Amino acid sequence: MHSCAGSYDERYAGPIGDFWRSGFTALPPAARVLDIASGNGPLPRLLLSLAERPDLSCDAVDLAELAPPWLESLAASQRDRVRFHSTCPAEHLPFADASFDLVVSQWGLEYSDLSRAVPELLRVLKPGGAVRLLLHHQQALPVVLAADEIAHLEWLLQPGGFMQACADMLAPMALAASAEGRARLQRDAQANAWRERFNVLQNQLQSRVDLGQCPDVLVEVRQSASQLLALAAQSGEATARQRWQILLTGLEDASFRLHELRSHSLDEAAARALASSLAASGPYTLEPLRDRDAIMGWALSLTRLP
Ligand SMILES: C[S@@+](CC[C@H](N)C(=O)[O-])C[C@H]1O[C@@H](n2cnc3c(N)ncnc32)[C@H](O)[C@@H]1O
């Protein structure tokens, strides 16, 4: 999704950054922020980058193990302002009631069981506090691109497909490293059939790159495949097969994540239902957040009555 949606700006220039910055800068002095489903922590990172608000601090939770790579490079005084809580579900937050002035989540809360996560969110939010959420929108660019990328992944991973053809080529490539092996290969009808099949699939891959949307994954896999074949020739079939397995697992994981992304995206009715479940505590605004012409998500803002 990341490569596809194309360089989400790390500095968060543009409307997404504006949405978050305006929420952070409106906070009262020494406010505490909670980021739900923080991932690699882009929102805490943005918060810490606000030179005009060195008084803000942030807790960040996620179901996964968190180890944001950017954290180590921070000065200790900045690092102390953010606490990451790994393996911490949104449905069960380890904080006292009314702890936070602002609760945020970017493409995160909607992955949780909302019937339990929303009451938890409201429990830890102070009276008069605010909620800001950026949620997957069914017509958003990352969601639409995910469908294209899923189709490419299915094509790569299908039985008899490109990944299988790549695996079939590892033994012949290892053999081709020696003169004796090359002589054996010439008489090996099966190896010749594998090579022809691989060439056909390489051509099909190129056609998909030329015609399809979001071809990044195809280009990356083509490059990885050529490295794997070179590795088989250099270091043998077993070493290359281990690397192939790592590539396969990575592609299967990517496919799983993209399916998750699509299945947790919200149409307007679902976004309004989520807003209403929060809104008992105060008025809200819900609108598509756009960057240039593309919808990037649902922006939901709510202030809790004091
Ligand atoms: C698409 S990522 C978004 C991460 C981050 N907010 C960002 O903007 O890059 C979704 C995150 O939700 C987390 N997640 C999924 N279900 C969760 C749950 N029930 N409680 C907490 N985190 C959850 C995942 O581990 C993942 O890090």
Q: Tell me, what CATH number does 61's domain have? A: 3.40.50.150
Give me the pLDDT at residue 9, please. Answer: 52
- Distance from the CA of 105 to the center of ligand 1, in angstroms? 9
Same domain? 172 vs 97: no
- pLDDT of 1 > 60? The answer is no
Give me the pLDDT at residue 250, please. Answer: 97
Same domain? 156 vs 127: no
Same domain? 101 vs 195: no
Give me the pLDDT at residue 69, please. Answer: 86
pLDDT mean across residues, the chain: 92
- pLDDT of 6 > 50? The answer is no
Give me the pLDDT at residue 11, please. Answer: 59
Residues 6+ away with beta carbon under 8 Å from 151: 212
Same domain? 203 vs 270: no
pTM reported for the whole predicted model: 0.85
Same domain? 134 vs 277: yes
Ligand 1 mutation pick, 2, 19, 63, 118, max ligand atoms within 8 A of CB: 63
- pLDDT of 281 > 70? The answer is no
Same domain? 154 vs 134: no
- Provide Rg for the chain, Cα atoms: 24
Measure the CA–CA gap between 289 and 299, rounded to whole angstroms: 6
- Distance from the CA of 159 to the center of ligand 1, in angstroms? 31
Same domain? 81 vs 135: yes
Same domain? 11 vs 134: yes
Same domain? 92 vs 234: no
Reduce the secondary structure of the chain to three states and give it as a string. Answer: CHHHHCCCCCCCCCHHHHHHHHHHHCCCCCCEEEEECCCCCHHHHHHHCCCCCCCCEEEEECCCCCCCCCHHHCCHHHHCCEEEECCCCCCCCCCCCCCEEEEEEECCHHHCCHHHHHHHHHHHEEEEEEEEEEECECCCHHHHHHHHHHHHHHHHHCCCCHHHHHHHHHHHHHHCCCHHHHHHHHCCHHHHHHHHHHHHHHHHHHHHHHHCCCCHHHHHHHHHHHHHHHHHHHHCHHHHHHHHHHHHHHHHHHHHHHHHHHHCCECHHHHHHHHHHHHCCCCEEEEEEEECCEEEEEEEEEECCC
Same domain? 186 vs 222: yes
Instruction: Read off the amino acid at residue 291.
Output: D
225: closest CA among 212, 208, 244?
244
Residues 6+ away with beta carbon under 8 Å from 196: none
- Ligand 1 binding pocket (C-beta < 6 A) is 37-40, 42, 61-64, 89-91, 106-108, 111-112
Measure the CA–CA gap between 187 and 174, rounded to whole angstroms: 16
Structural domain harbouring 26: 2-140+265-303
108: closest CA among 223, 265, 252, 301?
265
- Number of domain units in the chain: 2
Measure the CA–CA gap between 221 and 226, rounded to whole angstroms: 9
Same domain? 132 vs 198: no
- pLDDT of 173 > 80? The answer is yes
Give me the pLDDT at residue 41, please. Answer: 94
Same domain? 100 vs 237: no
Ligand 1 mutation pick, 62, 65, 114, max ligand atoms within 8 A of CB: 62
- Distance from the CA of 305 to the center of ligand 1, in angstroms? 28
Per-residue pLDDT tens for 183-239?
A: 999 899 999 999 999 999 999 999 999 987 789 999 999 999 999 999 999 999 999
